Amino acid sequence: MNWSRVRRLSRLERRMLLRAALYLVSVDIGFRIMGYARLERLIARQGARRSMQVDHRFPHRCAYWVERAARKVDRRYQCFHRSLALHAWLRRSGVPSQIKIGVRKSGSSLAAHAWIEVDGQVVGEAPGAAAPFTPLSAMAIDPVRLRRPVPSTPATAAS
């Protein structure tokens, strides 16, 4: 998408694109400063303030604009950044979303993917795109816990 196409968007569409771009940049900066665990806790608290009934198409529309903004702002924003941005946007809007990170073994390599679920349904992905991935537990992807040294257990004295 080039800038002339952006100018042709309606006012609402430009607002959605701008909001998506702001969420992408915000989560990128937040991830670099706070790390995943703190950023995820901050995002999760956003939805705790209010919860509202929204049109079931709203999460999909947000995902569409996050995808377009990611292509426009920085092509390095892959599934992880896009999922964090969408998750933050949905939670801030009162939509109870969950971020999922999964892995799959592909030959001798390991592939990872991040996606968003709302009411157990994958949002913003092609049908079946997340199916080959096995979701990790929250503890397994918490970099704060992974960085802490494991406390050593004192050796018991032999009697």
At 103-130, the pLDDT tens digits run 988 888 888 889 999 988 899 888 888 8
DSSP state of 159: -
| Structural domain contains residue 131 | yes
Question: Which bin fits 74, alpha (ψ -120 to 50), beta or left (φ > 0)?
Answer: beta
Question: Cβ neighbours of residue 58 under 8 Å, at least 6 residues apart?
Answer: 93, 95
Query: Is there a domain that residue 75 lies in?
Result: yes
Range of the domain at 92: 3-147
Let me know if residue 84 belongs to a domain: yes
The whole-number average pLDDT for the span 65-90 is: 88
Residue 133 banded pLDDT, cuts 50, 70, 90 = confident
pTM, two decimals, is 0.77
In a domain, 105, yes or no: yes
Does 82 fall in a domain?
yes
How far is Cα of residue 20 from the mean position of the Cα atoms in its chain?
Answer: 12
How many domains, in total, are found in the chain?
Answer: 1
Q: Is residue 153 part of a domain?
A: no
Cα distance between residue 62 and residue 86, in whole Å: 7
Tell me the pLDDT band of 27, cut-offs 50, 70 and 90.
very high
Confidence of residue 49 (pLDDT cuts 50, 70, 90): low
